């Protein structure tokens, strides 16, 4: 009696629980997560819009620098001709030395403007490669002249289109709805919960 030995007692149990009502917590949390996704997508769209605008601006800067370069190159060519004429007239005694020096100064200024335009084009191309994710020495040839025309539209139509397509405006609305959901989620803490539990042995 005092030495009963080993006794086994095996128990198998299956328990299940099901929440019938949680006061609206799950639906509010689900909606909050959905709004967070929309806000993240809005951030992405805003960055893409900024990238597109930067690419357009930089492309136009390249075209503008090329145009300035053409003008500066033509200015250098014309000023060189003036220097030659001034030198010839000075040699013939028809112009003073100051006239020749003045023409040479204008030539130096024109060459400086050509260098500035060339450097501006190189900087704009480097910035454009950077925006496009290309290596700094990658070949990049822009097609076109940089000219564009805006179709005639009404200012009211522009405002409607801008509001409909600006991700920042959508984000502001989503942020308001998200704040309302957060308030509703906190209020669910005052609501009761109903759950069902079952057990089988």
DSSP 172: H
DSSP-based three-state secondary structure for 139: coil
pLDDT in tens, 148-197: 666 677 777 777 887 887 888 888 888 999 999 999 988 888 888 899 99
| Burial label, 25 (beta-carbon count in 10 A; 0-12, 13-18, 19+) | middle
Other Cβ atoms less than 10 A from the Cβ of 168: the count is: 11
Average pLDDT over residues 105-125: 91
Measured over the CA atoms of residue 100, residue 96, residue 99 and residue 74, the dihedral's sign is negative
Q: CA distances (Å), 82 to each of 69, 97, 105, 109, 149, in order?
A: 20, 14, 11, 13, 38
DSSP secondary structure, 34-47, as one string: HHHHHHHHHHHHHH
Angle of helix 25-91 versus helix 97-132 axis, rounded to 10: 160
Residues 6+ apart with CB under 8 A from 124: 58, 61, 62, 65
pLDDT in tens, 66-99: 889 999 999 999 999 988 888 888 788 877 888 8
| Burial label, 65 (beta-carbon count in 10 A; 0-12, 13-18, 19+) | buried
- Do residues 171 and 43 make contact, with C-beta atoms less than 8 angstroms apart? yes
pLDDT in tens, 18-75: 989 888 888 889 999 999 999 999 899 889 989 998 998 998 888 888 889 999 999 9
Residue 102 predicted with pLDDT over 70: yes
φ and ψ of 12, to 5 deg: -105, 130
């Amino acid at each position: 009696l005092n030495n009963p030995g080993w006794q086994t007692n095996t128990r198998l149990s299956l328990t299940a629980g099901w929440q019938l009502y949680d006061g609206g917590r799950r639906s509010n949390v689900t909606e909050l997560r959905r709004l967070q996704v929309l806000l993240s997508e809005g951030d992405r769209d805003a960055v893409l819009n900024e990238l597109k605008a930067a690419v357009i601006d930089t492309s136009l800067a390249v075209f503008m620098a090329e145009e300035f370069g053409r003008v500066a190159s033509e200015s250098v060519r014309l000023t060189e001709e003036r220097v030659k004429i001034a030198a010839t007239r000075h040699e013939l005694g028809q112009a003073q030395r100051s006239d020749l020096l003045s023409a040479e100064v204008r030539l130096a200024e024109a060459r400086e403007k050509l260098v500035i335009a060339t450097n501006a084009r190189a900087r704009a191309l480097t910035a454009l490669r950077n925006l496009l994710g290309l290596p700094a020495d990658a070949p990049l040839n822009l097609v076109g002249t940089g000219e564009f025309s805006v179709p005639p539209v009404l200012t009211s139509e522009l405002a409607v289109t801008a509001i409909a397509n600006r991700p920042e405006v959508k984000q502001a609305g989503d942020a308001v709805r998200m704040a309302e959901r957060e308030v509703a989620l906190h209020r669910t803490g005052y609501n009761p919960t109903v759950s069902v539990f079952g057990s089988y042995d």
